[in-house]
Structure formats: C-alpha cells, structure tokens
Amino acid sequence: MTSKPTANTSPSAEEIESYLPAYDRVELIATGGMGAVYRARQISLDRTVAIKVLTHACSSSLQFRQIFKCEAQVMAKLNHPNLVSIYDYGEAHGLLYIVMQFVQGRSLHDAAHGKSVEAHEAAALISTVSKALADAHNSGILHRDIKPANILVDSKINPVVVDFGLAHQSDESTKKGETVFGTPGYTAPEVITPPFSADQRADIFSLGVLLHELLTGQLPQSPYLPPSSLVTVDPRYDSIVMRAIHPSPSMRYHKAEDLAADLDKVLAGQMLSPTPLLHTPVNHPQMVRRVPSSPIVAVAPTPPPKVKPINGEEPPANESPKLDHSRETSWSTKLALAACLAIAFLVTGLVISHTQVDSGPATSRMTQPSSQPKQSVLENDENRTEPTIGPGITANSL
C-alpha cells in the first residue's frame, strides 16, 4: 500500500498563529507554487513583518528544503536598503519559514505590467536596483530571478529586491543534471542553454530586459527593436539596453554598477562613454517563433558609417552608386540598338520623299501662323498633377 502524497497546499493564517505564537494578526497576502507569504505582527517588537512559508509538499521535498535554507542563508549575508532583510528562519510542525522585512507597496508587475513609465523614472529605478544587486554580487551572491514580480515599490518609488529563492553563490557552478530555474523572457541565454553557466552578467541581462519593459511596456521581441523605435525616449537608452541584453555575456556590462553609472549619466544629461558594438541583432532563444525569413535589424540612431567597397576601390565623389543588379551594356544589345536606329532613319527618309511628291509646289508656301498663340509649357504644367511622396518606411512599419 502506497502512502498518499502530501498536498501542495499552504497553511491557513490560523495555523501560522498556532505554529508561531510570537506572531499575531496573521494575514495571507500572496501565494505561489512553492509557498505563501503572510503579513503578521511581531509581538515582542511591535513591528509588521512578512512570513514566507513553504507548502506542505515542498516542505517534504529535500530539494526544496535545501533551496529554502539557501535562500535564508543568502538573505542573512545581505545588508542594503534596497535588498529585503531577514529576521528569522526555522521550522515548525514540519513547515519551513522565513521571517523578513515587510515592504509596504506593490510589485512592479502589479504597478506597471503592460505599461510604459516615464523614462527618467525607469532609469532611476533600474539604477537603484543595479546598485543593490552590485552589493549582492560583491558578497558573492547571484539573484538569478530578477523580474517585475520580485521587485517591490513603495509609495516613494523606492524599490526593494525580494525573493532570493533561486539565489546562487557566484563561485558555484551549475552541476550536471541540476534543474535550472528561471522566468522565461528574463533569464539570460547562458543560464538555460547547455552547458549552463551564470555569473553576475546573468542578472545584468535580466536588468536590461526589465529596463526595456519599463520604457516600452513590452518585453524585447525578435527581431529586436530598440526602445526609441517603439516609444519616444532618449536614444542613449538604446545603447544601454542593447549592451545589457546582448546574447554574449562578454559583450554585456561586466558589473551591475557600470550599468547604473551609465543610467546616472543619462539622467544627469551627460554623454555615454564610447563603446564598440552593437550593430548586431539581439535574438533571445525564446523569441524565435516571431523571426521572419529575412530578419530586420534595427539599431540605435547613429551617423551613417562609411562603408569600404569589397574590392578596396573608393568610388569617385560625384558618382552615383550603382544597383547591385546593374551590369555593363552587352555587345549584342549595342548591335540591336544600332540596327533599330538605321531602320528608323530609313523609314523617316521614305516618308519625307513621299510627302514631297504628293504636295508638289504647295510645299513652298509659308504656313500662316495661328491667330491663337500656343500655350507655353509652363501654362500646361499648371494642369498637370504632381506625384505625391508617401510616408517613409520605418522600423515600426516593418
């Protein structure tokens, strides 16, 4: 007889109060696949806290218990105003729990999902989150699940990064056969593509995606279009986003504080430091369904580069460029044109001689001018319809 599997349910608020007598006024505020979060009052210090509890099923799983314990240990190493703080960790009646800072506000997902926000607000927010993650990175911790739902914002638009459930020590590599967790659309390609590797640049990729989403109200698509081609924003944000979400980690910002520094420059009206790249398409592996047969590459507006011809010869300054399909006129074409001209001259001569024979002496008389003057070419042009110029092709229309 097999034992009945444990239900993947969360305890009620009444159960939490009975399991944890040091807390009262317990109220369920959020649920997820692994657990639930409750708001409660810590009686001894009379302060509001958040209590995260694993579900019954996850509490029975060794893997999820290890993940939960790792989250608590990671949070204990953090000390930054924009990273959630931990107060306690333990187990009660077989359920694992974490007591942590309660942030009064909403997640970015609830506050801005599907909406674009003011560019300066988006830049300031991502700059603050980048500095907070830089502090975590300097402590050897990777978040690995940066997304709108894991960033809480208070009434003063002050962000706090939460949910370090997928956090990873930066000096630990992903083991063969280990389950790789992440959120589609925000997770860096190297995290979900064998041989599975991640460092702080994986968090930077997620920050770049989040910045693009805040600026435009949508995730980056494939073929990639920079923010300024979708909404009216400073083109400098194009360079920042493209550098943050480049498929190759080596082409991204190497440190989160560098991303924050560039955002602060834009906010201060300063120029960005010149950098090579990024005139290549940025295609996320999960976006291939929307790639057309001939991908269109859109990059940040820059002065048109001088293209050197393949044969190494520079064309004369005043010479118009030739189309790729143009060719020199062949000899057969030239002979055909000459034959047509000869026939035309012959026919013209015959017509003239025939006319002179039929008209006789009358051809010597002068033709009397018409009493009505002929309209000039300019007058005729007034009644002519000029061709109209249609709208130019833009990245959006493509």
List, for residues 149-166, the tens digit of each pLDDT value. Answer: 999 998 888 999 998 887
| Last residue in a domain, options 65, 81, 101 | 101
CATH number, residue 260? 1.10.510.10
Residue 308 lies in a domain: no
- 193 to 187, 198, 203, 238: CA distances (angstroms): 10, 10, 16, 26
| Last residue in a domain, options 250, 272, 290 | 290
- pLDDT, residue 287, reads 42
Rounded Cα–Cα distance for residues 70 and 86 (Å): 12
Peptide bond into 195 cis (omega under 30): yes
What is the total count of domains within the chain? 2
Rounded Cα–Cα distance for residues 10 and 21 (Å): 18
Structural tokens at position 98: 């974490």
Domain identity same for 124 and 153? yes
Domain identity same for 118 and 135? yes
- pLDDT, residue 241, reads 96
Domain identity same for 67 and 179? no
Domain identity same for 145 and 263? yes
- pLDDT, residue 157, reads 85
Rounded Cα–Cα distance for residues 142 and 173 (Å): 12
Rounded Cα–Cα distance for residues 348 and 284 (Å): 69
User: Residue 362: CB partners within 8 Å, gap ≥ 6?
Assistant: none
Domain identity same for 127 and 159? yes
Domain identity same for 154 and 222? yes
Domain identity same for 156 and 280? yes
Rounded Cα–Cα distance for residues 125 and 367 (Å): 87
Rounded Cα–Cα distance for residues 265 and 263 (Å): 5
Reading the chain (398 residues) residue by residue, the pLDDT tens digits are 444 456 678 899 999 999 999 999 999 998 887 889 999 999 999 999 999 999 988 988 998 898 899 889 989 999 999 999 999 999 999 999 999 999 998 999 998 888 889 999 999 999 999 999 999 999 999 998 999 999 999 888 899 999 888 776 655 544 444 555 678 899 999 988 887 878 999 999 999 999 999 999 999 998 889 999 999 999 999 999 999 999 999 999 999 999 999 999 999 999 998 766 544 444 544 443 333 333 323 333 333 333 333 334 444 444 333 323 333 444 555 565 666 666 666 666 665 555 554 544 443 333 344 444 433 333 334 443 333 333 322 223 22
Rounded Cα–Cα distance for residues 222 and 189 (Å): 14
Calculate helix-pair angle for 119-138, 200-216, nearest 10 degrees.
170
Domain identity same for 130 and 95? no
- pLDDT, residue 108, reads 92
Residue 391 lies in a domain: no
For residue 351, which phi and psi values (nearest 5 degrees)? -65, -40
The conformational region for residue 357 under phi > 0 = left, psi -120 to 50 = alpha, else beta, is alpha
Residue 162 lies in a domain: yes
Domain identity same for 136 and 234? yes
Residue 319 lies in a domain: no
Structural tokens at position 200: 């702080």
* Long-range contact set of residues 341-344: C-beta below 8 Å, sequence gap at least 24: none
Residues 297 and 223: beta-carbon distance below 8 Å: yes
Rounded Cα–Cα distance for residues 25 and 48 (Å): 9
- pLDDT, residue 31, reads 87
Residue 302 lies in a domain: no
SS (H, E, C) the chain: CCCCCCCCCCCCHHHHHHHCCCEEEEEEEEECCCEEEEEEEECCCCEEEEEEEECHHHHCCHHHHHHHHHHHHHHHCCCCCCECCEEEEEEECCEEEEEEECCCCEEHHHHHCCCCCCHHHHHHHHHHHHHHHHHHHHCCEECCCCCHHHEEECCCCCEEECCCCCCEECCCCCCCCCCCCCCCCCCCHHHHCCCCCCCHHHHHHHHHHHHHHHHHCCCCCCCCCCHHHCCCCCCHHHHHHHHHCCCCHHHCCCCHHHHHHHHHHHHCCCCCCCCCCCCCCCCCHHHHHHCCCCCCCCCCCCCCCCCCCCCCCCCCCCCCCCCCCCCCCCHHHHHHHHHHHHHHHHHHHHHHHHHHHHHHHHHHCCCCCCCCCCCCHHHHHHCCCCCCCCCCCCCCCC
Residue 324 lies in a domain: no
Domain identity same for 152 and 95? no
- pLDDT, residue 195, reads 77
Amino acid at 166: L
Domain identity same for 141 and 83? no
Beta bridge partners of 151: 161
So which residues are the catalytic ones?
145
Residue 337 lies in a domain: no
Rounded Cα–Cα distance for residues 170 and 378 (Å): 78
CATH number, residue 53? 3.30.200.20
- Tens of pLDDT, residue by residue over 336-359, are 566 666 666 666 666 555 555 454
Residue 248 lies in a domain: yes
| Last residue in a domain, options 101, 131, 161 | 101
pTM of the model: 0.67
Beta bridge partners of 83: 161
Q: What's the gap between Cα 187 and its chain centre?
A: 12
Q: Domain range spanning residue 248?
A: 106-290
User: Residue 199: CB partners within 8 Å, gap ≥ 6?
Assistant: 142, 170, 249
Domain identity same for 150 and 280? yes
